[in-house]
Structure 1
């Protein structure tokens, strides 16, 4: 699992993920992801276009980060999921906790910017 952090501005971050977000993938990036998404308490969008598999530990990482951000009055928005990953997000009702949108532009709009 590869992860790239892009600072969009002083209040927003984009995290691009590439690979399998399963137990080993979540383990590999968990600390860095949490540090990038949650530590600063800034709104974060997550690009899932490069994620070809999403497992329960990946879902857990995303939800726990979203909840931690929410406690800091910030938002996490997911975007760009491939069909297989989108199906997992739909079946697990992740969109009830984290906004899931199609494009980066939609994700930024959900942040209110």
Structure 2
């Protein structure tokens, strides 16, 4: 599991994740991801288009990141979700906690960037 952070506007950053967000991927991602977005000081949109699988620990990482942002007055939206991952997100009602968008433009609209 890898991630890259890109500043795309003065008040917005994009995080691009790639790889499987399974137990191993979640362990690798958890602390660096949460720490990085916690220090960004911006709203964040997360691109999951290169993530073919998300397990329960991966969902926890995403929720933790969203909560860190929320505590600092910022928002997170997720976009680019592949169908298999979208099905999992639907089952666990992730959208009740983190907005999901079909594309980058819609995600930017959700968080205001």
User: What TM bracket, shorter-length normalisation?
Assistant: over 0.9
Runs of 4+ more than 6 Å apart: none
1:94 equivalent to 2:94? Answer yes
Give the TM-score taking structure 1 as reference length. Answer: 0.94
Q: Aligned-pair RMSD on alpha carbons?
A: 1.1
* Larger fraction in strand: 1
Unaligned runs of 5+ in 2: none
Query: Number of residues paired by the alignment?
Result: 113
Residue equivalent to 2:47:
47
Deviation at 1:36, TM superposition (A): 2.2
CA distance in 2, matches of 1:3, 1:89: 20
What is the TM-score of this pair, normalised by structure 2?
0.94
How far did 1:53 drift?
Answer: 0.4
Unaligned runs of 5+ in 1: none
In the TM superposition, 1:1-113 aligns within 5 A as: 1-113=1-113
**Alpha-carbon distance between aligned partners in 1 of 2:10 and 2:31, rounded to the nearest angstrom:** 21
Q: Give the conservation status (yes or no) of the 8 Å contact 2:34–2:68.
A: no
| Per-residue CA distance 1:59-99 (angstroms, 9 max, x = gap) | 00111111121111100100000000000111010000000
